[in-house]
Structure 1
Amino acid sequence: MKHIYRHITDRYLFRLFTSLALAGIVALSAIYRDIPWTVLSALLLLLSIRWQWKLYRRYTQKILFLLDAIENNDTSIHFSEHEDIPDNRIVNQALNRVASILYNVKSETAQQEKYYELILDCISTGILVLNDAGAVYQKNNEALRLLGLDVFTHVSQLVRVDAQLMGLLTHCRPGDKLQTRLSNERGTVNLSIRVSDITIRQEHLRILALNDINNELDEKEIDSWIRLTRVLTHEIMNSVTPITSLSDTLLTLIQGNEELKMKSEPISSDKETAEEIRNGLHTISATGKGLLSFVENYRRFTRIPKPEPSLFYVKGFINRMVELARHQYPDSRISFRIHITPDDLILYADENLISQVLINLLKNAIQAIETEGTSEGIITLRAYCNESEAVLIEVSNNGPAIPPEMAEHIFIPFFTTKEGGSGIGLSISRQIMRLSGGSLSLYPGKETMFMLKFN
C-alpha cells in the first residue's frame, strides 16, 4: 500500500509542478509581450487544469461510489485493475484494497456483535440497555422472558405489562439496586434490578441487570420452615411420648386393680371414681397418640430422600399416574385430556418422587372439581419442551380458580382450606421439585394450572 501511495503522490507532484511551470511561462510571456508563447502556454495551462479537474471528479465519484456500496453492504463493488491508463489502474487497485479492508473490519465487527449477543442469550440474567429517552438499544432473551414480552423497543411498552415497572425503569439511575414484583399471564416474578451506565459515541446509556429471585426466596422460605418444623416436632415428641406411655401404664394398673376389687365386692363410689380415672386416662392416651401421628405426618416434610434421577418416557409415566388417580376415585365423573409433544418425550428425574408430586396435583384437582360440583369435570395434562430445552408439565382443571388471596399461601407448610387436610401436600411437592433442580408454580387465570419445570 505504501508504494502505491508513493507512486500516486509522485505523479500528482509532477503534474502540480508542470502546472506551476506553465503558469510561470504565461506570466513571463505576458510581461515580455510575447503573444504566441503567451497564448500557447495559456492553452497548455488550461488543458492541464481541465485534465486534473476531470481526474479529480472521476476519483471523487469512485470514492463516493465505494462509500455508498460499503454503507449498503454491497460486497460486489470492484474497480477494474486492467485499464490502459496507469494512473487509473493504480487508483483502482488502491480503492479495491481499501474496500477489502473496510469490508473485513465491518464483517469482524458484525461477528463480534453476534458473538456477544449469543453470550447474552446464554446467561440466566436479563440484560437491558436503555438510553435516557427510554429507547431499548439491546436486550437478551432472558429479559424478554422475565418481562413477558416478545418485542421490546421502548420502555413505554411496559405500560401493558405493569405501569409501576415502567415508571421504575424510566426513572432508575446508575448505582440503584431495586426490587419489585411483576405479575403477568406467565405467573408472578420477583425482580431484582441493578443499574449501571456507560457512554458510547457521546451518548449516555443505562445497563439494567434483571434477576428472578423467586427460587432464592422459595429456598430460604422452605429452609426456614424445615428448621422450624424440626424444632417443633422434636419438642412435641419429647413432651408427648412420656405422657402416652405413662397413661398406658396407669390404665394397665387400674385394670389390674379392678379385677382384684371385683372379687371383694367394691363400694359403688370406688367404682365411679375408678371409671372416671379410666376414662380420663383413655382420653389422654388417645389424644397423645393422635398428636404423635399428627407430628409424624409433618415430619415427612423434613425427610424427603435425596433424588435418584433416571431417564423415563413422559407419556407412559403420565398415563400411569392418571390410571392411579382413576383407581383412587372410581366414582368421579372426570375426563382426562393428555397432550405430549413430542410423543417420545424423555425426562431425567427421580420417577418415584415426581410421581408423588403429580399424584398430589391430580388428587387436588379431582377434589376441587367434586367440591364445586362441576357437571363436566376436565383435567388437562400437557408436557413439552420450551425454547431452552427444559421439560414442562402442566396440570390444569376446569374447577373453581384459586382466589388471589389464597394463591399466595398455598405453598406454605400446614396451610389448608380443606377440612381434615394436612396442608403439606403442595409444600412437599415444591420441595421435591426444588431438590430435583426444577420448580413448581401456580399460574393465575380462569382455570387452576400448576406447572412443573425441569431444567
Structure 2
Amino acid sequence: MFRRTLYLKTTVYLIILILLSGLGMALVMRHASPVFILLTALGILYFSFQLLLSFDKMLRKIAYFFNAIENEDSTLFYSEEVSHKPLRELHKSLNRINLLIKEAKLKNREQEQYLEALLEQISTGIIVFNANGNILQANTAAKKLLKYQTLTHIIQLKRVDETLYTTFASLPQNQRQFISLTHQETTAQLALRATPFVARHKKLTLVSIQDIRNELDAKEVESWQKLIRVLTHEIMNSITPITSLSDTLIGYYTTPAASLSAEARENTIKGLEVIRERGHSLIHFVQSYRRLAKLSPPIFKTIAVKPLIEHILLLMASDAGSIPIRFTHKVTPENLLLNADEGQISQVLINLLQNAIHAVRTVENPAITIVAQQDAEHHIQIAITDNGVGIEEELLSQIFIPFFTTREQGSGIGLSISRQIMHKHNGNIRVVSRPQQGSTFTLEF
C-alpha cells in the first residue's frame, strides 16, 4: 500500500515537472513575457523541492528506523494519524516490520530460556569454550561435577586437578576420554567428549561431562560375577575328577589286603593319567589367563589396510581346509590408512576369521566378506561378515567374557583379547548376529 501511494505521488510530481518544463521551453522559444517564464521556473523549482523533500523525509525516517534496529531498540513507534498519506503508509509499514522483529526476538528469547532451563535440568555437565579457552556456558551439572562454582576460563580447572585441565585442553574431537577426579573423600569417574562447532564465525568447543562411576561399579560387579561363574566352571571341571579319583586311589592303598590286584593297578594307572590330564588342563587355563591379563600396550604406526587384509586372508585360506569358502574383501578408498599396532590388529582379524570359518563349516555356499571403510565422521571400520549359523540372542552378551566358549576345542579368550586390543586402540568391537542368518563383527577405530 505504501509503495503504491509513493509511486502514484512520484508519478504525479514527475508529470507536473515534465509539463512545466515543456511549457517553459515553449514560452522561451516564443519569446513570451518574462513573468510567465519566471512563474514556470518557480513552479519547476517548487515541485522539484517537494519531490526531494518527500523522499528525504522518508529516507531519514527509514535510516532512523534501521539505526534503532541496529541498536536493538524495538520501542520505536511512528504515528499512523498523520494527514500525509504516503507518510502514513510508511509509518504503518515500519511499525509492522518493528512488530515482526519484536515477535522474532520474543520467540528467540523464549527458545533461549527453554534451552537454558533444559541445560540446568539435565544431569550431564555441559561446558562451551572458545579458541582462547574462555568459558561461554557452563551449566549447574558441570560446576557440580568439577567442584567449581564460577567457571570463566578452562585454566581454572588446574585448581581442581592438573590432569583435568590437561585433558580438557587436549580433548580429541568426537572421542570419549576418561578421567578419575578425587575431591576430598569422594572420587568421580568422568567421561568427557568434545564436539567442535562454529557460531557467529567463531570456533567453539562443547564438552559433555558424565559421572559414570555408578555404571562402572555395576559393570565391574557384573563382570566379576560372570568371570567367577566361568572360573568356577573351568576349575570345577578339573578339580572334581581329580578329587574323585584321589578318593578311589586312597581306597585302594588303605585296604587291609597285602597286595593289589592287577585290576586295581590298572585302575591306578588310568586314574593317574586322568589326574595328569586334568593338571595339564589347569596349567593351560592359568597360562591363558596370564596371557589375557598381560596384554602389552600397542605400538602405533601407519598401516595400509588393503595389503594387511590380503595378507591375513592368504594366511587364513589354509585354515579353511576342505571347506570351499568364498573369501571376498573391499577397501574404500583403496589407499585407506590406519594408525594401529599391526601385530595386535592382525591377531584380532585372525581371531574373528577363525570364528567365521568355524561358523560356516556346515552351511551351503559358505562365504566370508571383509569390508573396510570410513564412516561419516572419518572413523575407520573393518567389518567381517559370514553367512554361518549365527549366535543365539541369549549368548550375545556372553561371547566377550573370558573363557566363555561354545566350541569343544575353543579356549574362550579370542574375543576377549580382541576386545581388549580394540579398547587399547580407543576403539570397540560391535556384533550383529541372528541364528541361521550369519554374523557381522565390526571393528570401530
Which bracket does the TM-score occupy, shorter chain normalised?
0.3 to 0.5
TM-score by length of 1: 0.46
